[in-house]
Structure 1
Amino acid sequence: MTAPTQPPPDLVRLVRQLQGRQALQVLAQLAADRHLEVYLVGGVVRELGRGRQAPDLDLAVNRHALELAAALADQLGGTFVLLDERERTARVVWQGENLDFAEFRAPDLVTDLHKRDFTINAMAISLIPLMRAGQLEWLDPWGGREDLEAGRVQILAAENFHDDPLRMLRAFRFAATHGLTLTADTWAAICKYRQEFRRVAGERIHQELFHLLGVERTFPTLVQMDQAGLLGQIFPELEDLKGVEQNGYHHLDVFQHSMLAVDCLEQILLHPQDWFGDLGRVITDYARRDSKAVLLKLAALFHDLGKPQTQERRDDPERFTFYHHERLGAELFTQIAWRLRFSQEELRTVVRLIELHMRPFLLLPIFRQGELTLRALGRLVKAARPVLPGLFALAMADSLAGQGLLKPADAEAWLADFCAAAYQFLTERLEPMEHRPRLISGDDLIQEFHLTPGPQFRQLLEAVEEACLEGRISTRQQALDLVKKLL
């Protein structure tokens, strides 16, 4: 085995924190009693090399990994989770900590480390000397620390991508999350094995993809993934967007426009006040919830997915139409979401954004002329209510990504004003109305008009609600008169 290298001096504090973790103290004693070799590996060692503490722990054990994990869970009163009996992997969950155990996949540690994905993840720290004597035996047989310090993602062996094609996406994810650059060897290996990516299970892609898109600036990485041919392996549907011409509002084909929309969206999310003024805080608050920023980026990337199949040329040879492309795009994205095991909430959010992304643009000319009715504005706000901040952020990105000659120079300014009008409607009309009793209810329809419950109930009550929002009625009697008129 390669001799341990000396740790960087600034690791002392972080190492002391590791020594103070009770789970590791108990584990070291259990391993020593059983004469087992246990090593901290993977992310925890990589993050130590970056001067950071990793919340979860990856551990490699020379033998009896499952039994050791079960003993630790029993000793701590934690939960033992068998991950893969054939691969000899398990997890112990205790007080919010995850300790992942894996048995050596080779006769010795060095060979086991070589089976990992990248040099930056092929470093190890021997646990027992660390916990018992404070000795930090930093094992780095493949130059991971040097690559980490140089900002490189270096594949250990090209065939490792064949063993697990997900590692190709992980290479780009590490580049994005850690500010690293893929080496020529890593890039060449991705180009060689990229077609095998389709073997990867959807739920695994989902997890890595969300990590990647969670970075503030994903666009440069997406461009690199496309250049390497990996983006099209993950999303074959995007290949259909390439070369699809658009009308005079655009200067790029559908694919390049969609990619640029992601770039513009990320810039908006970083500085929303530059486009929305004081309402920028609403955009920020929305993007911080759950995975909303990630879902917004997906909506930007796929918002025009339906255009290739709906493209029609008009009399003017340079003009095209894409009627109802948003509906087809939502259907096509639903298939992608099913394939990648999106949750129902994730699917609903992106589909709603895609379905509605044209609505602001269809209403904007009427708004500019001062002729937009409260009814039309209210219908937009209610339809987009759960994603309203995201919809306007997406619309702004869509507008910025289209710089054709027919596009008005002040389009973004008017779009910001439209957003302000929508929020004024929301805060001054819709929300106050929701906090006061309805003017009439279903019981009133039964008692006053002798109606029986059914679809007509909803239609009548919605008509009353719309009239109230528009300020046309404000009393119970006016509501009853409206129903009488509608009947």
Structure 2
Amino acid sequence: MQEIASDQSAGEAVARVLDAFMAERGSVYIVGGAVRDHLLGISSIPGWSGLKVDGQPHDGAFGLSSRSTTPASTTDLDLVLCGPVLPLARRVADRLGWAYYPLDEKRDVARLIGKCADGKRLECDAAALRGDLRSDLLARDFSANALALRLSPDSSPRLIDECDGIADISSRRLRRVSEGSLSSDPIRLLRAVRLAVQLGFSIEHETRKQISAMAGAVVSVSAERLRQEMWKLLDCSGPDVGIRELDELGLLTHLLPEVKGLQGVQQSSRHHLDAYDHSLLATHYAGELRDWLRGGPALEDSILAQSLEPWAEALRTHFCEEIAAGHDRAGWLVWHALLHDTGKARSAAEESGGDAERLSSAGHQELSAKIAGRRVASFRFSRREVLLAGSVARRHSAPRRLVTALAEEEERIGPRVAYRFFRDAGSVVAGQQFVHGLGSGSARQPLDGLDVTLQAVSDLQATGMERGPEWGRFLRAVDGLFDYAFSRPADHLGAPLVDGHRLMEQLGLAPGPVVGKILRELAEAQASGSVTEVGEALALAEDLLAQEDDQTGTGI
């Protein structure tokens, strides 16, 4: 069933779904992250302010967050209640116009999905109690998640804490519920790192010890579950912190061995860090760009902020596009930065007797593309995402090479060069093709070259101890790429002025490579605006054919 958009706010929609379950079951329990995040002041549960903890009065957020306004409503609920749950969840979904999915019929777990007025996705997972409530909470992963809020139509909300979760939240400490909490489900090893980074918690000593001891068990987890946790981890603020924590706990070598392999790999003299620390610093800067593109904090680098500001709206439109459900281009910038140099480890091994300067050659980029594609595919990301990861890794140095090739008097990359760059990068949403036939009234084609360009920005930010004149020159030059992508009329991607049939008829040519070569030159000329009419295109074609005759010494 398709979820139906609602005219209600998130808080109103959440309140309605809670009321619907209580109307049929009486008491229900909200568990997990929604309760934890309410206490931290990250989000709120509608109707919960004054409350009781195990029957004793407490006020709101227990002093754990100083907030003058109520945070936005949670959009992700986990409920437990007396079963059977599946038929009840279906009735609630039908009544509210939400989508219904039976997640686990054996364990009696359902998911409801709706949308509120602002388009936000709302999720509610409803599960049957595993034994009694205490047993259910003791079976959870971490004490901060082992809290339950009891809701009943005829009494005030009551918070139940069986595992000292409130004390751990107050101390910003992530602690396993028991030793079996981690061994029963190894995905929790990775989740511990993600939650610690996401919430700003420290992982408790005994929990850390067990994660390190069990690190190898993470490979037994399904690729789909690993993908979900890895995306959430790298989507946190400061994704490089998460990678370092994975390494500290012994998980990195099992999850991203290619990144681990970059440690100690020396680079060219342009770099002040080895390939590993450089990649993590680039990942940090990519995270800043991602957050800015999503409407977050301003960029710290004032020169970069000033350079991108004229294109802010257009860039945000492009990078907010989802390549797959829940995965936008902005989020992928972090993955591009993390994986862009993974081929250098193998290049270093193959060239161990050579010069580190050679590692800047195109060879490592092709290796990086293959490695990035394989790693992304191993997590069962979509085909489009695999193609995009490989394409960006393969071309990540292209913008810098274009800038280096500019004549001293040139400040910006010109339209003809920009056309070639975007043509070669293609578009994963168009089968990796640079599609013609977009008239002035058509929607703009997403250009993967924009992803390559912002990856190059993060890469250069992480290169060298200081950003000298090269940094400003680079940003001024790539402004030509943004200008080409966003400012030129859509007609520059319109249907070719002259097609192959017309060209062969006009010039008396037979099908062959000369026709293809001339068509490519005409396309570049049209894209750069140097030809705008059919007659101009044909005249240029005749000149190009004459040049071809002169070079080959033959008449055609």
Fold shared per TM-score above 0.5: yes
Any conservation in 2 of the 1:19–1:25 contact (CA below 8 Å)?
Answer: no
**1:115 alignment counterpart:** 139
Higher mean C-alpha deviation, range 133-142 or range 91-100: 91-100
Does the 8 Å contact 2:149/2:157 carry over to 1?
A: yes
Q: 1:408 to 1:88 in 2, by over 3 A?
A: closer
Task: State yes or no: 1:352 paired with 2:376.
Answer: no
Distance 1:452-1:414 versus aligned 2 partners, 3 A rule: same
The secondary structure found in structure 2 opposite 1:320 is helix
**CA distance in structure 2 between the partners assigned to 1:395 and 1:182 by the alignment:** 34
Q: Secondary structure at the match of 1:241?
A: coil
Q: Find the counterpart in structure 2 of residue 461 from structure 1.
A: 519
Aligned to 1:104: 129
Counterpart AA for 2:358: F
Structure 1 residue 295, shift from structure 2 partner: 0.6
Query: Against the structure 1 CA distance between its residues 61 and 453, is the aligned structure 2 distance closer, same or farther, given a 3 Å change threshold?
Result: farther
Residue 324 in 1 paired to residue 385 in 2? no
Deviation at 1:301, TM superposition (A): 0.5
1:78 CA drift (Å) = 4.8
The CA distance in 1 between the partners of 2:169 and 2:355, in whole Å, is: 53
The CA deviation at 1:368 is: 5.3
Residues 27 and 423 of structure 1: CA distance in aligned 2, closer, same or farther (over 3 Å): closer
Q: 1:453 & 1:459 partners in 2: Cα distance?
A: 11
1:220 pairs, out of 208, 222, 241, with 241
Q: Deviations over 1:41-80 (max 9, x none)?
A: 1122223223423223211124423343344345556544
SS in 2 for 1:257: helix
**Which amino acid counterpart does residue 280 of structure 2 have in structure 1?**
M
- Structure 1 residues 315 and 194, CA gap change in structure 2 (3 angstroms): closer
Aligned runs of 1:60-459 on 2, under 5 Å? 60-73=80-93, 76=96, 78-93=98-113, 97-105=122-130, 107-127=131-151, 129=152, 132-268=153-289, 269=292, 270-271=298-299, 273-275=302-304, 277-280=306-309, 282=311, 285=316, 286-290=318-322, 291-311=328-348, 313=351, 319-321=357-359, 322-367=361-406, 369-370=408-409, 375-384=416-425, 386-403=447-464, 409-426=468-485, 431=490, 433-434=492-493, 438-445=496-503, 447-449=505-507, 459=517
Contact 1:273 1:280 (8 Å CA) reproduced? no
Alpha-carbon distance between aligned partners in 2 of 1:302 and 1:195, rounded to the nearest angstrom: 22
Larger displacement relative to structure 2 (328-337 or 169-178): 169-178
CA distance in 1, matches of 2:93, 2:479: 55
Q: Is the 1:276–1:416 Cα contact (8 Å) retained in structure 2? A: no
Mean alpha-carbon deviation: is it higher for 375-384 or for 204-213? Answer: 375-384
471 and 111 in structure 1: CA distance in 2 versus 1, 3 angstrom threshold: closer
Q: Which residue of 2 aligns with 1:13?
A: none
The equivalent of 1:12 in structure 2 is none
Q: Out of 479, 482, 487, which is 2:537 matched to?
A: 479
Closer, same or farther: CA 83–428 of 1 in aligned 2, 3 Å? closer
How far residue 234 of structure 1 moved from its aligned partner, in angstroms, is: 1.3
Relative to the length of structure 1, the TM-score reads 0.84
- Decide whether the 8 Å contact of 1:238 with 1:305 is kept in 2: yes
Query: Which is worse superposed, 90-99 or 320-329?
Result: 90-99
- For residue 481 of structure 1, report the CA deviation from its aligned partner: 3.1
CA distance in structure 2 between the partners assigned to 1:246 and 1:310 by the alignment: 11
CA distance in 2, matches of 1:77, 1:297: 36
How far has the Cα of 1:273 moved from its partner? 4.9
Unpaired segments of 5 or more residues in structure 1?
1-16
Match of 1:24 in 2: 18
Q: Secondary structure at the match of 1:40?
A: strand
Q: Is the 8 A contact 1:464 1:483 kept in 2?
A: yes
CA contact (8 A) 2:504 2:515 kept: no
Cα distance in 2 for partners of 1:261, 1:367 equals 25
SS at match of 1:155: coil
* Structure-2 separation of matches of 1:219 and 1:117: 24
- CA distance in structure 1 between the partners assigned to 2:128 and 2:485 by the alignment: 57
Amino acid corresponding to residue 391 of structure 1 in structure 2: V
Equivalenced residues, count? 461
- Contact residue 440 and residue 480 of structure 1 kept, 8 A: yes
Deviation at 1:432, TM superposition (A): 5.2
Name the SS for the 2:420 alignment partner. helix
Indicate if the aligned counterparts of 1:368 and 1:414 stay in contact, CA closer than 8 A. Answer: no
What per-residue deviation string (whole Å, max 9, x for no partner) do you get for residues 173-194 of structure 1?
2223223222223222211211
For the aligned residue pairs, the C-alpha RMSD in angstroms reads 3.2
Structure 1 residues 412 and 223: alpha-carbon distance in aligned structure 2, compared to 1, 3 A threshold: same
* Structure 2: gaps spanning 5 or more residues: 1-10, 45-73, 117-121, 293-297, 323-327, 427-446, 546-555
Question: Which residue is equivalent to 1:4?
Answer: none
Per the alignment, do residues 409 and 50 of structure 1 end up closer, same or farther by CA in structure 2, a change over 3 Å counting? closer
State the distance in 2 between where 1:353 and 1:203 align: 23
Give, in angstroms, the shift of residue 195 of structure 1: 0.8
Q: Tell me the CA shift for residue 296 of structure 1.
A: 0.6
Letter in 1 for 2:337: A
The percentage of aligned residue pairs carrying the same residue is 27
- In 1: Cα distance, 2:96 partner to 2:193 partner: 37
Partner of 1:11: none
User: Aligned in 2, Cα 1:449/1:327: closer, same or farther, shift over 3 Å?
Assistant: same
Deviations 1:447-484 (A, max 9, x none): 43566888876544322121234565444223223334
By how many angstroms is 1:383 displaced?
Answer: 3.0
* 1:315 Cα deviation after fit: 8.6
TM-score (structure 2 length as normaliser): 0.74
Distance change in 2, residues 1:133/1:19 (3 Å) = farther
1:92 CA drift (Å): 3.2
Shift of 1:350: 2.2
Deviates further, 57-66 or 113-122: 57-66
CA change 1:178–1:468 in 2 (3 A) is: same
Question: Could you say if the C-alpha distance between residues 481 and 315 of structure 1 is closer, same or farther in structure 2, counting changes exceeding 3 Å?
Answer: farther
What CA distance in whole angstroms lies between the structure 2 residues aligned with 1:320 and 1:170?
39
Q: CA 1:319–1:326 in 2, change beyond 3 Å: closer, same or farther? A: closer
CA deviation string 1:5-34 (max 9, x = no partner): xxxxxxxxxxxx6898233223223214xx
1:378-430 deviation per Cα after TM superposition (whole angstroms, max 9, x unaligned): 312433471344323322222232227xx994221221122123334445667
